[in-house]
């Protein structure tokens, strides 16, 4: 079972995914060995890992949320095939296992290979809809508050990475790709490992990491099975909101502790959110009492999430060792 120390560790990694275990242990009042042991257990039992991700807009990428209908005997295979692609994230099975939800990133100035070529030729898909994510109000660097309700303000301040003087920021370039690919597999990779992947010196790696984080071009996310935190009932919510009030409603929803993701989209519905609740009764209460009180929401469709096939970062083998 996950306990208060495990929750504090998850919160600490949200504050700084690359914080040394020694610093986390000092802030939490436990030994470095205890933090490392807890991290290993959560990695094995709850799929915990840290991933480094480029901010899509800074990387010249457009994000799409796909809804794919499929037969019950083919949906899982299709979901796994999507999860293996480097341009997908957050692949989930929903709606009784006959719907696949996935986020796809496409080059902003290029053709959409997956959308226009690969999916239409895939056997077993019965329906396709693609919703461009116009603006993300919660998600990415601002994740679910259910993971971040443990540490005190002083503990958060002690964990936040420091900034030493002004940072000269260069935009993302092709030369950053090896760095981003390595961090996408393991956000806690050491400077020596990143230097080996990029051909840079460890000092250059450290400087470039500081630049990208300071500019917001790079952030670190935490992959985790949220059911261990009590989020048993999960659902994607598709809402239609009066356009004049879309921004107002989206900003209000971004403050709801039940939601881990809120974004404005294209399509017949213009607002999507992901709800994480302790049980079906909690989800019902949220839908009827919190969302039901917002008169600007003209329609609501909920799609229960059954399983997460892929999280924020690319699939890959677990790290060979735990970095302190």
What's the CA gap between 183 and 259, in Å, rounded? 26
Question: Both tokens of residue 14?
Answer: 């949200």
Task: Of 144-153, 170-179, 182-191, 206-215, give the range with the top mean pLDDT.
Answer: 182-191
Asked whether residue 122 carries a pLDDT value surpassing 90, the answer given is: no
Over the chain, what is the mean pLDDT? 89
Q: Given this model, what pLDDT does residue 117 score?
A: 61
Place of tokens 């996408």: 184
Q: Given this model, what pLDDT does residue 71 score?
A: 86
* Proportion of the chain above pLDDT 90, given as a percent: 70
pLDDT tens digits, one per residue of 41-71? 999 999 999 999 999 888 888 999 999 999 8
pLDDT tens digits, one per residue of 270-308? 999 999 999 999 999 999 999 999 999 999 999 999 999
Higher local confidence (pLDDT), 322 or 212 = 212
Number of Cβ within 10 Å of residue 320's Cβ equals 6
Asked whether residue 220 carries a pLDDT value surpassing 90, the answer given is: yes
Q: What is the mean pLDDT of residues 227-251?
A: 95
How does residue 164 score in pLDDT terms, banded at 50, 70 and 90? Answer: low
Q: Do the strands 61-70 and 125-138 form a parallel or antiparallel pair, or are they unpaired?
A: antiparallel
Asked if 287 and 68 count as a contact pair (C-beta separation under 8 A), the reply is no
Q: Given this model, what pLDDT does residue 275 score?
A: 96
* Proportion of the chain above pLDDT 70, given as a percent: 90
CA proximity to 68, closest of 33, 30, 38, 98 = 98
Asked whether residue 321 carries a pLDDT value surpassing 60, the answer given is: no
How does residue 322 score in pLDDT terms, banded at 50, 70 and 90? Answer: very low
Q: Given this model, what pLDDT does residue 111 score?
A: 53
- With a CB cutoff of 8 Å and minimum separation 6, the contacts of 105 are 56, 61, 62, 63, 64, 87, 88, 89
| C-alpha dist (Å) from residue 230 to 1, 96, 179, 236, 276 | 11, 21, 34, 17, 9
Asked whether residue 141 carries a pLDDT value surpassing 90, the answer given is: no
How does residue 214 score in pLDDT terms, banded at 50, 70 and 90? Answer: confident
Q: What is the 3-state secondary structure (H, E, C) of the chain?
A: CCCHHHHHHHHHHHHCCCCCHHHHHHHHCCCHHHHHHHHHHHHHHHCCEEEEEECCCCCCEEEEEEEEEECCCCHHHHHHHHHCCCCEEEEEEEHHHCEEEEEEEEECCCCCHHHHHHHHHCCCEEEEEEEEEEEEEEECCECCHHHCCCCCHHHHHHHCCCCCCCCCCCCCCHHHHHHHHHHHHCCCCCHHHHHHHHCCCHHHHHHHHHHHHHHCCEEEEEECCHHHHCCCEEEEEEEEECHHHHHHHHHHHHCCCCEEEEEEECCCCCEEEEEEECCHHHHHHHHHHHHHHCCCEEEEEEEEEEEEEECCCCCCCCCCCCCC
pTM score: 0.86
Domains parsed from the chain with CATH numbers: 1-46+145-163 (1.10.10), 138-143+228-306 (3.30.70.920)
How does residue 238 score in pLDDT terms, banded at 50, 70 and 90? Answer: very high
């Amino acid at each position: 079972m996950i306990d208060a120390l495990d929750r504090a560790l998850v919160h600490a990694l949200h504050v700084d995914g690359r914080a040394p275990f020694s610093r986390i242990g000092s802030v939490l009042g436990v030994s470095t060995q205890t933090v490392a042991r807890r991290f290993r257990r959560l990695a094995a039992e709850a799929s915990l890992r840290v991933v480094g991700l480029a901010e899509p807009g800074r990387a010249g990428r457009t994000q799409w949320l796909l809804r794919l209908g499929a037969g019950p005997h083919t949906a899982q295979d299709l979901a796994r095939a999507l999860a293996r692609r480097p341009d997908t994230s957050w692949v989930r099975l929903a709606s009784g296992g006959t719907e696949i939800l996935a986020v796809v990133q496409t080059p902003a100035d290029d053709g959409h290979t997956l959308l226009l070529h690969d999916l239409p030729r895939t056997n077993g898909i019965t329906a396709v809809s693609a919703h461009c994510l116009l603006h993300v109000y919660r998600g990415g660097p601002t994740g679910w508050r259910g993971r971040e309700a443990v540490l005190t303000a002083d503990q958060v301040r002690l964990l936040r990475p420091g900034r030493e003087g002004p940072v000269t920021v260069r935009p993302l370039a092709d030369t950053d790709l090896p760095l981003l690919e390595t961090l996408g597999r393991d956000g806690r990779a050491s400077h020596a490992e990143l230097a080996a992947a990029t051909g840079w010196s460890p000092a250059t790696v450290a400087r470039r990491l500081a630049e990208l984080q300071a500019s917001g071009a790079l952030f670190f996310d935490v992959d985790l099975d949220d059911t261990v935190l009590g989020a048993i009932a999960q659902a994607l919510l598709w809402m239609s909101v009066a356009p004049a009030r879309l921004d107002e409603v989206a900003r209000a929803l971004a403050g709801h502790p039940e939601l881990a993701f809120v974004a404005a989209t294209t399509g017949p519905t213009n607002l999507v959110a992901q709800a994480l609740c302790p049980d079906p009764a909690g989800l019902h209460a949220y839908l009827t009492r919190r969302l039901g009180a917002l008169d600007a929401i003209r329609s609501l469709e909920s799609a229960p999430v059954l399983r997460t096939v892929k999280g924020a970062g690319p699939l890959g083998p677990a790290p060979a060792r735990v970095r302190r």
